[in-house]
Amino acid sequence: MNMFLNSMESKEISTFRRISNTLQHLSTYHLSLPVEDGTENEHPLRSPDIDMLKHLLDGDFKRDRTQIRQLIQNSKSFEEIHLIESISPEVHRERTIQAVREVIDLSIVSVTDMKDNPEKFLSWFETVSICDLSVVLKFAVQYNLWGGTVLFLGTKKHHDKYLNDISNGKLLGVFGLTELGHGSNVQGLETTSTYDNATGEFIINSPTWTSQKYWPGNISAHGQMATVFARLIVDGTDHGVHAFIVPIRSAPSPGKPYGEVLPGVEIRDITQKSAYNGIDNGGLLFRNVRIPKDNMLDRFSCVNERGQYQSTVPPNRHFAAMMSVFFIGRLCISSISLTAMKSGLVVALSYSHNRKQFGPPKQPEQPIINYSTHQRRLIPWIARCYTLDFTHKYVVKSSKSMDVLHSYSSGLKAVTSWDSLVALQNARECMGGQGMRLKSRITVLRAHSDMCTTGEGDNIVLCQQVAKFLLFKYNNSINEGGSFTGELEYVNNIHRPTTENWRSLSYQQWLLEKREFALIKELHKKMYTSNPSIKPNSEEWYHLWDKCLNLAIQLTKANVDRLVHSIFLQKIISITKESNASTLQMLKKLCCLDGLVQIQRDLGFFCSTGIISGHDKWVKLDDEINALCKEITPFSRELVEPFGIPPRFHPYQNSLE
């Protein structure tokens, strides 16, 4: 702390002290206190403490992470042969499952950690996602989805019977939610589960071609059971979508390691994809397959002993109750694209420090990272990785209510996956043709992140949920007198900062708050002005809302930008005591750079609404971002070292080939 304070001006010290002291009184998401960091007066940047950065990124699970990284670095099963040779999906799938078993053998987490220790689970998942992403997606299928339904939607009888074998990989399973005809609108799915009172069984049926369960991994080769979401019909009444465990293959037997497809079950293979070819995605149809009554996952509802449907949640909340428990899964998918972004940046940075091209007249050629365009295309994404990483860790630890967590995880997944694609495209282009060799992994990582934009909830659909959450909060607040609480509490404390210095983190925070609030108000105006008592779910709402979709997406991005910036600020403040001055200074720079880049991305909104005024702001902001990138560049390799990408996935460390 003292070293850090010594490096600051007295005004900064008092600001930081004030913030540190008041942190405990702050609403978690509000941090608009002035952080008069005045970075422009600081000493030149120095190397950060890499161990401290590693500590920040590895969190409390350094030992677990190290074990996983060593396995990935050393085991033959994690060689990415599909990046060098054409291999068939069959070979890729077998390698994937072999790698999965080796990770299981480390015995780091079990399915129940999703509930008991989500922080540990996310940390484990994120580290596994360093390798071929088919491996981690196989875990997403097996643990988060198949295991997750049993854990979160089942009761003790299911937990006792299945969870252990799901964790140890003996019982591979399928998450049968989406259908060919219903991807996003899963409430409209067609599969039926009809209760037969005579036998006490459910009859699972796929009434149409479009009702086939479509996409889930573990269908076409490996899965022995499936959680099937189906419309529950009891005595001719449709009670909506519920979940059931349905066996689809027989138990493994000698010579048949994945058993045989059971009668009444039909399976299709989904052919080549742009990524995850180690996953056996498929289509799954049921021809009146009978399952015992106990196979209904009955945490929220059941068919009772008298053959009657009963539920602990109202019908219109039932589906949401089932879905909300998957927020950890969404964070996991988001962390796949975050790790892909980190991995790609490590490769592109190495290459750009080694690769030389052009130079000043009559002087040797320069490493291409020295060019300001290369810096602009790579350095801000390093900052972004830190920002998003801190936010993932914050959200998984948060004890907020489920609707808040749903909003956080949805917005964060959308922004992370979109950002990852842009970052990886920049990384690709920064490597020239080498970026197109599969060996460099860049395009493969991009293909994997690509899935994350529509997997585990289409980003556009999720953004709408975030925007509606904020809109309803706002509408309730003004109906109740205009005091903002919860996620909108920050609005009560938006004060124009004393500085408009681009590098002031508090100025940036103010800008981000102003923008988000302006977007909420605009959305509210559009939805409620003509009819203040408009009903959500009415036809009027449906048509008005459609006109606001782009606005809703902008609002979600703005919401996430504000959130991640405030979380980064908190992180800086919270480690002030334990960090040295150069590390804190570096983190402030990263936070500052990330803030400025987000502001530049949307400068049109800031300027056209008057939040930013004055002449030539575009040029000045652009110059500032250039300057920041240039300051950080000499430390860029140090900054990505804590990402912990094993050397095996780092093909351009020393030279060209």
Q: Which of residues 463-482 bind a copy of itself (CB under 8 A)?
A: none
Of residues 348, 424, 369, 501, the one with CA closest to residue 38:
501
Angstrom distance (rounded) from CA 37 to CA 175 = 49
Residues paired with 246 in a beta bridge: 226
Q: With binding defined as CB under 8 A, does residue 654 bind a copy of itself?
A: no
Q: With binding defined as CB under 8 A, does residue 115 bind a copy of itself?
A: no
Q: In angstroms, what is the minimal distance from the CB of 200 to a copy of itself?
A: 34
- Provide the mask over 189-228, with x wherever binding to a copy of itself is found by CB under 8 A and - wherever it is not: ---------------------x---xx-------------
Q: With binding defined as CB under 8 A, does residue 184 bind a copy of itself?
A: yes
Angstrom distance (rounded) from CA 399 to CA 421 = 30
Give the range of 231-239, 242-250, 506-514, 545-553 binding a copy of itself by CB under 8 A: 545-553
Cβ proximity to a copy of itself, 371 vs 489, nearer residue: 371
Angstrom distance (rounded) from CA 17 to CA 23 = 10
User: Position of tokens 């681009």?
Assistant: 502
Q: Exposure pattern of 326-353 as b/e (b: 16+ CB <10 Å)?
A: bbbbbbbbbbbbbbbbbbbbbbbbbbbb
Angstrom distance (rounded) from CA 589 to CA 372 = 17
- Residue from the set 236, 263, 361, 481 that interacts with a copy of itself by CB under 8 A: 361
CB-based contacts of 59: which residues, under 8 Å, 6+ apart?
A: 119, 123, 393
Q: In angstroms, what is the minimal distance from the CB of 618 to a copy of itself?
A: 4
By CB under 8 A, the count of residues binding a copy of itself is 92
Cβ proximity to a copy of itself, 364 vs 482, nearer residue: 364
Q: Which of residues 337-356 bind a copy of itself (CB under 8 A)?
A: 356
Q: Which of residues 263-292 bind a copy of itself (CB under 8 A)?
A: 270-275
Angstrom distance (rounded) from CA 638 to CA 378 = 14
Residues paired with 230 in a beta bridge: 242
Q: Which of residues 290-329 bind a copy of itself (CB under 8 A)?
A: none
Q: Which of residues 504-533 bind a copy of itself (CB under 8 A)?
A: 522
Cβ proximity to a copy of itself, 320 vs 436, nearer residue: 436
217 is in an annotated binding site: yes
364 φ/ψ angles, rounded to the nearest 5 degrees: -60, 160
Cβ proximity to a copy of itself, 78 vs 215, nearer residue: 215
Of residues 408, 438, 263, the one with CA closest to residue 344:
438
Active-site residue, 539 included? no
- Residue from the set 13, 23, 83, 494 that interacts with a copy of itself by CB under 8 A: 83
Q: Which of residues 233-252 bind a copy of itself (CB under 8 A)?
A: none
Angstrom distance (rounded) from CA 442 to CA 427 = 7
Q: Which of residues 89-108 bind a copy of itself (CB under 8 A)?
A: 89
Cβ proximity to a copy of itself, 18 vs 317, nearer residue: 317
22 is in an annotated binding site: no
User: Position of tokens 């702390």?
Assistant: 1
Q: Decide: helix, strand or coil at residue 111.
A: coil
Q: Which of residues 582-601 bind a copy of itself (CB under 8 A)?
A: 600
Vertex 165: Cα angle to 159 and 170 (nearest 5): 155
Angstrom distance (rounded) from CA 105 to CA 169 = 10
- Residue from the set 255, 615, 647, 654 that interacts with a copy of itself by CB under 8 A: 615
Question: Are 610 and 511 a contacting pair, CB within 8 Å?
Answer: no
Angstrom distance (rounded) from CA 424 to CA 344 = 6
The alpha carbon of 552 is separated from its chain's Cα centroid by a whole number of angstroms, namely 19
Q: Decide: helix, strand or coil at residue 566.
A: helix
Of residues 382, 351, 356, the one with CA closest to residue 371:
356
Q: With binding defined as CB under 8 A, does residue 618 bind a copy of itself?
A: yes
Per annotation, catalytic residue among 179, 456, 487, 513? 456
Q: In angstroms, what is the minimal distance from the CB of 117 to a copy of itself?
A: 31
- Residue from the set 97, 150, 174, 180 that interacts with a copy of itself by CB under 8 A: 180
Give the range of 143-151, 152-160, 229-237, 609-617 binding a copy of itself by CB under 8 A: 609-617
Give the range of 13-21, 131-139, 162-170, 361-369 binding a copy of itself by CB under 8 A: 361-369
Q: Which of residues 426-465 bind a copy of itself (CB under 8 A)?
A: 428-429, 432-433, 435-439, 443-444, 447, 450-451, 453-455, 458-460
Cβ proximity to a copy of itself, 21 vs 537, nearer residue: 537
Count CB atoms within 10 A of the CB of residue 297.
24
Which residues are tagged catalytic?
A: 456
Q: Which residues belong to the annotated binding site for FAD?
A: 178, 217
Q: Which residues belong to the annotated binding site?
A: 178, 217
